[in-house]
Amino acid sequence: MVKMILIAIVAPLLAFSIGLSFMMIKRKVVARIQRRYGPTIIQPIFDIMKLLLKEDNISHGVIFSLGPIIAIAGSILSVFFIPIAGLNMLTGSGDLIALLYIMAIGSLGMALGAGDSANPNASIGISRALTLMFGYDLPLVIIVISVALQYHTTDLSAIVAAQANGHWALWSLPLSAIVGFVVTYGALGEHPFDIITAPHEVATGPMVEYGGKHLGFLMINHAFHLYVEIALFVDLFLGGASNIFIFYIKMFAVFFIMMMFDEVLPRFKIDDAVRFFWKWPTVVALISLIIVLVK
């Protein structure tokens, strides 16, 4: 029981710090690609702290304030479903499927809150977010199915265990892995999929009315989000890890490749993005699924 409580405290903290460290590194790396030095490495901490210290002088209703909380709650919940280095508490059969649902809570929470802000930009942003989710969920579901079929389980821990000793799904299911990478990339909203917040189009979309503490929560949520998406990919295709350091290195490698693309591509239009997801990733995922089925 004590162990459970300990894990319940440690796991989110760990997830948060990993996500935060990625945020820190990203700002530095982006800056270097852009031929500049960028902020001090701990700048995101200052930002979050400052936002939390801001005074509130707006109210758009309870739902508006609840949005970020729901988002964070959803993200933390998903953290418990993802096994890292033996830290897996809410395991049980079907947890991969459950995870997929729980991961959507974040977006829905945002949708709830932002929808309450009565700003057309926020509404457009939310509709874009949901549309995009709709777009990448289809290939995601297909590859999850492929992986599940490959390992005959929906238990993430089991999938991770099956990939031990270098038998990664990346090697056995290369096509699914590529699709998985693209989908994870899309889910993180990096360029060219930063359609939801696109400042030049919808002025940061759902976040347009959020400031201060709410924005701070959203930044924290982003850290969790980063962690959840990448950790899921690592668990599914890179065989998880037996200890936290290796897990971190694997996650970082994935994130680093993502950053490379992030800074050199302009963004998609929402319909193009959905079309994109339903075209190549879906087709490739299906091919991969067929390969699995045939094998």
Partner 1 sequence: MSKSYELFIGPNHPGIPGNFSLKIELEGDTVISAKGDPGYLHRAFEKAMEGRYYIQNLALIPRICVPEPDINEAAYAMAVEDLMGVEIPERAKYIRTIVLELARAANYTFWMGGFAGTLGLYTLAQWSFGDRDYALDLFAEICGARVYHMYIWPGGVRRDLPPGWEDKLLGYVKYMKERLIDYDNIFFKNVMFKYRTKGIAVVTKEQAIEWGATGPILKAAGVAQDVRKDDPYAAYEYLDFEIPTLTDGDSWSRAMIRRWELENSLNIIEQAVKKMPKKGPVWEKMPNPLKWYVPEGETYAKVESARGEHGFYMVSDGTGKPYRVAVRGASHTHMFTIAEKVLIGQRLADVSHILVSLDVCPPEIDR
Partner 2 sequence: MNIKEYEKGSFLKPLTSVKYLFKKPHTLRYPKETKPVADRFRGLHINDVDKCIGCGNCRDICPCAAITMEKASKIGRPIEIDKKGANPVRPKIDYGRCSFCALCVEMCPTGSLKMSKDLIYTSPDAEAFAWVPLEEQGREPGFIQDNEITPLMLEAQEMEELEPEVRKRSFEEMILGFSEEQARKEAMRCLGCGICMQGCPAHMKIPEYIQAIFDGDHKKSVKYMLEDNVLPGICGRICTHRCQDDCVYQYRGAPIHIMWLKRYATDQLEDYKDVNIEKMPATGKKVAIIGGGPSGLSAAYHLSTMGHSVTIFEQKNRAGGALATGIPLYRLPIYELDKEIGNIESMGVEIKTNVKVGEDVKFEDLLKEFDAVYIGIGLSYGRSINLKGEEHPDVVQAIDFLRQVKVEGRRDITKHVIVIGGGNVAMDVARTVARLQEINYQSKDTTVETVSLEDWDIMPASQEEIDGALEEGVIFNPAWGPNQVIFNEDGSIKGLEVKKVKYVFDENHRFNPAFYEDQKKIIYGDYIIESVGQMYNFSFIPKELMEQLKFTPRRKVWVDEYGETSIPGVFAGGDIVETSKGDAISAIANGHRAAIGIDRFLHGKSRRG
Partner 3 sequence: MEKMTEEQVKSIANMLRKRSLWMIHYCTGCGAMELPPTMTSRYDMERFGLAPYVTSRQADILLITGYLNVKTLRRVITVYEQMLDPKYVIGFGSCTLNGGVYWDSYAVIKQLDRYIPADLYIAGCMPRPEAVISAFRHLMELIDSGKADGYKRYKRNLAYYKENQRKVLG
Cβ 212 to partner 3, closest distance in Å? 5
Instruction: Using CB under 8 A, pick the residue from 124, 219, 223, 258 that binds partner 1.
Output: 124
For the window 61-100, what string marks contact with partner 1 as x by the rule CB under 8 A? ----------------------------------------
Cβ 27 to partner 1, closest distance in Å? 12
Please tell me the distance from the alpha carbon of residue 17 to that of residue 14, in angstroms, as a whole number. 5
Residue type, 278: W
For residue 3, state whether it binds partner 3 (rule: CB under 8 A): no
Instruction: Using CB under 8 A, pick the residue from 1, 3, 5, 36 that binds partner 1.
Output: 36
**How many residues make contact with partner 3 (CB under 8 A)?**
30
Question: Could you tell me the CA-to-CA distances from 95 to 78, 183, 234, 235, 250 in Å, in that order?
Answer: 10, 19, 16, 13, 22
Cis check for the bond before 68: say yes or no (omega within 30 of 0): no
For residue 262, state whether it binds partner 3 (rule: CB under 8 A): no
Instruction: Using CB under 8 A, pick the residue from 10, 32, 42, 101 that binds partner 2.
Output: 32
For residue 263, state whether it binds partner 2 (rule: CB under 8 A): yes
Contacts for 99-103: CB closer than 8 Å, 24+ residues apart = 99/156, 99/232, 100/137, 100/140, 100/141, 100/144, 102/74, 102/77, 102/78, 103/74, 103/78, 103/228, 103/229, 103/232
Footprint of partner 1 on residues 189-218 (CB under 8 A)?
A: 191-192, 194-195, 198-203
How many CB atoms are closer than 10 A to CB 161? 14
Footprint of partner 3 on residues 14-53 (CB under 8 A)?
A: 27, 31, 34-40, 43, 46-47, 49-50, 53
Q: Which residues bind partner 3 (CB under 8 A)?
A: 27, 31, 34-40, 43, 46-47, 49-50, 53-58, 199, 203-204, 207-212, 215
Binding residues vs partner 2 (CB under 8 A): 29, 31-37, 260-261, 263-265
Positions that interact with partner 1 (CB under 8 A): 30, 33-36, 120-121, 124, 191-192, 194-195, 198-203, 263-272
